Structure 1
Amino acid sequence: MTTDPKKIILFDDDEDIISICSYILEEDGWEVHSFTDCNDVAERVSSIKPNVILMDNWIPDSGGIAATQILKNDPDLKSIPVVYFSANSDIQTLAKQAGANTYLAKPFDLDDLQQTVSAYL
């Protein structure tokens, strides 16, 4: 019996963060898709159909808040959980403003990353 892979999209312009997160999540059995900007966010998410999205706050071009709002206002995509992640000290407020399901403050513990993402399966 084959199960569909767990898919996650990372939107972050920091290649180091993408590398670390991708490594950890792939070890956990995730199929990781990453983008260094959030242009065409709805089209990208629609084509991949992830289980979870990790969204950075400071991401070109429109930024994480606008990108998350686009997803949450799309009837076909709004049910996909968005984990907002940022080093901004006001991340809780930003995540709420964006309409994200939860948030993860950078720098984060790798166990926290795994637990936060897995909670949405």
Structure 2
Amino acid sequence: MSNTVEKKIVIFDDDEDILSICAYILEEQGWEVHTFTDCNNIVEKVSGIRPSVILMDNWIPDAGGIVATQTLKQNEELKNIPVVYFSANSDIQLLADHAGAETYLAKPFDLDELEKVINEVLEKA
């Protein structure tokens, strides 16, 4: 048994293909991955898991990624969990800033970028 800290990540995306690819890659690297296809009851979802990092899609039903991220950032217990905002929108940096996310990842992204941005955000946290 290793005594490394359990690394948990939550991914919000309504695209099942993206969820399964990201989950596969991250599980290979020792993450415990939790995926959701909507952001309803987001405080309850995130509170129940207490992840180290959250990946948030812009077009997540129902409220959308900006509202979902803002909801987390307004919650005292959850606001310090870093959020990586991802979207195919060309204004992704503006969207991420507006949402209050720590960083962003443009879609389509390659898996090296995914790993890099997660590691960077964890180092800062």
| TM-score grouping bracket, smaller chain normalisation | over 0.9
Indicate the residue corresponding to 1:93 in structure 2. 94
After superposition, the C-alpha distances for 1:48-107 in whole angstroms (9 at most, x for unaligned) are 000000000001000000000000010100000000001111100000000000000000
Mapped to 2, the partners of 1:6 and 1:57 lie a distance apart of: 24
User: In structure 1, what is the Cα distance between the partners aligned to 2:102 and 2:121?
Assistant: 10
Gaps of at least 5 residues in structure 1 are none
- 1:34-59 C-alpha deviation (Å, 9 max, x unpaired): 00000010111111000000000001
CA distance in 2, matches of 1:119, 1:77: 19
Instruction: Give the corresponding residue for 1:32.
Output: 33
Separation in 1, partners of 2:34, 2:5 = 15
Unaligned runs of 5+ in 2: none
Partner residue of 1:84? 85
TM-score by length of structure 1 reads 0.97
Computed over aligned residues only, the root mean square deviation of the Cα atoms, in angstroms, reads 0.9
Percent identity (aligned): 69
1:15 aligns with 2:12: no
Structure 1 ranges of 4+ moved more than 4 A: none
C-alpha separation between the residues in 2 aligned to 1:40 and 1:53?
15
Written as runs of structure 1 = structure 2, the 5 A alignment for 1:100-119 is 100-119=101-120
SS of 1:119's equivalent in the other structure is helix
Q: 2:6 matched to which residue of 1? A: 5
Aligned: 1:55 with 2:56: yes
SS across alignment from 2:4: coil
TM-score by length of 2: 0.94
**Residues 102 and 121, structure 2, Cα contact 8 Å, conserved in 1:** no
